[in-house]
Amino acid sequence: MSRPEGPTLCLVYGPPAVGKLTVAKEIAARTGYRLVHNHVSIDPVLSILGWEDEAFFRTVGDVRAVLFDAAAREGVSIVATYAYAAGVDDASISRLSGAFANRGGRVRYAQLVASDDVLLERVTDAGRREHGKLGSAEDLRGFLAEYDFTSAIPGTTGPTIDTSWTAPAEAARIIAEHLEAT
């Protein structure tokens, strides 16, 4: 099977505190892909709108779409992180992956999972605060109760890696090998 000539989007997704950014940094180092993590689009919107504002998530989606479209148009392969919630984010995922697919590129997915106990332990890590990420176990419990972060993105394939016991470098190796093989 020959690969498309266009760029690649590697979408690393999973719940908050699963290790998406840590693994994505390792993938970027191995592949040369540019890194686009969740907060590249969230932080500028947070400077204007709050999480509770009706326009917040729509605006974040618009910022992400502009970034992904620019990367695809310019032939830049990226590894991006996404806290995918089943049934909530499907249209957004379709929009973002379409930017690459519509330009002859390829889209690959990698799902990261971990037990709730591991997520609740990691969420308070000081490194998360540096990126303005969710940092409260109580808030994470609420998100985990409200949203399904465990389901795979419908219609996609790719590795699912449990980061409870898989080191970031090993997870990145598995994903990079998947990118090379497909």
Query: How would you write the pLDDT of the chain (182 residues) with one tens digit per residue?
Result: 334 468 999 999 999 999 999 999 999 999 999 999 888 898 899 899 988 898 999 999 999 999 999 999 999 999 999 999 999 999 999 999 999 999 989 999 999 999 989 988 887 776 666 656 766 778 888 888 899 999 999 999 999 999 999 999 999 999 999 999 98
**Which residue segments constitute the domains of the chain, with CATH numbers given?**
8-181 (3.40.50.300)
- Interatomic CA distance for residues 14 and 103, integer angstroms: 26
What DSSP string runs through 60-127? HHHHHHHHHHHHHHHT--EEEEE---TTTSHHHHHHHHHHHHTTT-EEEEEEEE--HHHHHHHTT-HH
pTM value is: 0.91
What is the rounded distance in angstroms from the CA atom of residue 20 to the CA atom of residue 38? 9
